């Protein structure tokens, strides 16, 4: 591969969003409420009391947003389906009006030559299912597979890429252990059971897809290389625990058919004895792994912070994003190489990568965000470095297309390539959007050192 063509032919360039973060109007058209609708409307849960009631009003403005995608030259767009729009009770009767919204979105993308990548679950469980136990209910994998079948039957003729669950670690840990996100539980015993049911939900949806679908299906996981803060035995052991807890918890069952042995000691009596038959069902389910990468973990032993007894810290003088995450592009290369080595070089897509910064207001119709441009440039180059070492990387999706509702942070943390004014919904592409357009037009070369534009770059 020549320096002028650092990415292979057919490599997908895209951007990503999720339903509750951008759609707005979560109860419109017969939709049922989700756990995120409830959570955001619970005082004290979200910064400044903000909710996803309006978000980016993508529900009404999706054609405008698809036009922005086309202007960027996106090959693909990753979005999520709000389960409660399609099945208001989570099960049973289909809400055709909700399903039709996604059919119109898919058709609009295809008309612009943009391939859809649909995520089935990005954290917004129907509230009606939560009232039946949610992800703690042993029936939840079947509920999810039934929901997935509805989408496969309706859209698989037009959707070439499917993702089952986005970041199951976040759902289990931040939703059920730490209580930072919906549904806001704090229960050590619930956490591994929720995680296991999410994995079974993925596997059952993949099994359903094998009988109904004709394209590709995978899962998206948040990953970060873990580095010890010091060479002390305590820090090294804490780093290994955190690696098992974040990176291996969900991938080892799916690729190796077993859970990391460290989890039993981390959870102690809260760790269940999962049936071998369950682990057999999990193994080798899915066609690809979606990688959501934002930063590395620099780890210090923290004996007073059970159950992990490990803390993530920031190195002195590190550049941090508005989320407090270290900018560490080398970690993306390390993560991709680790996946190649541990799991026999599976097909990979970077399904999320981006950074939140405090952007200035528009001036003369422009938003300058040089730190985000630098972040994207360095991380795209890091992806190219992994490809040069024979990693089977097939696509890159920037997070996010739009400034949006950033969960418990509300609207203050801005990840978008496009600035969205929450007052009047004005969209203004940032300098990072212009840069990303150049990257796509040059098939990645614009992110590489010493690149200069050519008239035939596209």
Q: What is the CA radius of gyration of the chain?
A: 21
Q: How many CA atoms lie within 13 A of 410 on its CB side?
A: 12
d(CA 56, CA 419): 10
Relative to beta strand 418-420, strand 427-429 is: antiparallel
Task: With beta carbons less than 8 A apart as the criterion, state whether 183 and 35 touch.
Answer: yes
d(CA 248, CA 414): 29
Catalytically annotated residue among 167, 229, 262, 326: 167
* Token code pair at residue 441: 């037009």
Phi and psi at residue 316, to the nearest 5°: -60, 140
CB neighbours of 243 closer than 8 A, spacing ≥ 6?
226
310 closest CA partner among 261, 266, 260, 249: 266
DSSP type of residue 174: I
d(CA 219, CA 204): 12
| 67 torsion bin: left (phi>0), alpha (psi -120 to 50), beta (else) | alpha
Neighbours of 322 (CB within 10 A): 17
295 closest CA partner among 315, 267, 275: 315
Task: With beta carbons less than 8 A apart as the criterion, state whether 396 and 12 touch.
Answer: yes
Task: With beta carbons less than 8 A apart as the criterion, state whether 53 and 26 touch.
Answer: yes
Neighbours of 390 (CB within 10 A): 10
423 closest CA partner among 398, 403, 409: 403
50 included as an active-site residue: no
d(CA 204, CA 424): 42
Task: With beta carbons less than 8 A apart as the criterion, state whether 34 and 82 touch.
Answer: yes
CB neighbours of 257 closer than 8 A, spacing ≥ 6?
279, 280, 282, 283, 284
256 burial level (CB within 10 Å; 0-12, 13-18, 19+): middle
d(CA 137, CA 75): 38
Phi and psi at residue 398, to the nearest 5°: -70, 140
280 included as an active-site residue: no
285 closest CA partner among 141, 130, 111: 141
Catalytic amino acids? 167, 352
């Amino acid at each position: 591969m020549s320096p002028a063509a650092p990415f292979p032919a057919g490599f997908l360039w895209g951007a990503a969003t999720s339903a509750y973060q951008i759609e707005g109007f979560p109860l419109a058209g017969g939709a049922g409420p989700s756990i995120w609708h409830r959570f955001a409307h619970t005082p004290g849960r979200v910064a400044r009391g903000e909710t996803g009631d309006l978000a980016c009003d993508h529900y009404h403005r999706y054609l405008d947003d698809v036009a922005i995608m086309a202007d960027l030259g996106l090959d693909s767009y990753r979005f999520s389906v709000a389960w409660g729009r399609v099945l208001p009770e989570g099960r049973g009767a289909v809400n055709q009006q909700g399903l039709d919204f996604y059919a119109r979105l898919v058709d609009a993308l295809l008309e612009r030559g943009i391939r859809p990548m649909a995520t089935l679950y990005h954290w917004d469980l129907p509230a009606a299912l939560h009232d039946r136990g949610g992800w703690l209910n042993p029936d939840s994998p079947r509920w999810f597979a039934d929901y997935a079948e509805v989408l496969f039957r309706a859209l698989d003729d037009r959707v070439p890429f499917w993702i089952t669950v986005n970041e199951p670690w976040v759902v289990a840990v931040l939703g059920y252990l730490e209580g930072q996100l919906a549904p806001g539980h704090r229960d050590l015993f619930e956490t591994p059971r929720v995680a296991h049911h999410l994995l079974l939900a993925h596997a059952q949806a993949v099994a359903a897809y094998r009988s109904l679908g004709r394209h590709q299906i995978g899962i998206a996981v948040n990953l970060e290389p873990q580095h010890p803060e010091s060479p002390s035995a305590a820090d090294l052991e804490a780093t290994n625990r955190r690696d098992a807890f974040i990176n291996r918890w969900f991938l080892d069952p799916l690729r190796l058919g077993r859970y990391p042995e460290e989890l039993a000691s981390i959870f102690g009596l809260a760790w269940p004895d999962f049936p071998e038959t369950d682990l057999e069902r999990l193994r080798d389910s899915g066609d690809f792994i979606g990688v959501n990468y934002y930063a590395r973990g620099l780890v210090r032993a923290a004996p007073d912070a059970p159950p992990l007894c490990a803390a993530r810290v920031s190195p002195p003088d590190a550049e941090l994003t508005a989320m407090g995450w270290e900018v560490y592009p080398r970690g993306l290369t390390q993560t991709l190489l680790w996946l190649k080595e541990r799991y026999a070089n599976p097909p990979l897509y970077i399904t999320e990568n981006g950074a939140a910064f405090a952007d200035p207001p528009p001036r003369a119709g422009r938003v300058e965000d040089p730190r985000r441009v630098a972040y994207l440039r360095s991380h795209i180059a890091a992806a190219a470095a992994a490809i040069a070492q024979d990693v089977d990387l097939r696509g890159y999706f920037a997070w996010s297309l739009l400034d949006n509702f950033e969960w418990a942070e509300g609207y203050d943390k801005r990840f978008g390539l496009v600035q969205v004014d929450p007052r009047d919904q004005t969209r203004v592409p940032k300098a990072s959007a212009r840069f990303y357009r150049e990257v796509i037009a040059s098939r990645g070369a614009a992110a590489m050192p010493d690149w200069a534009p050519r008239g035939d770059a596209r």
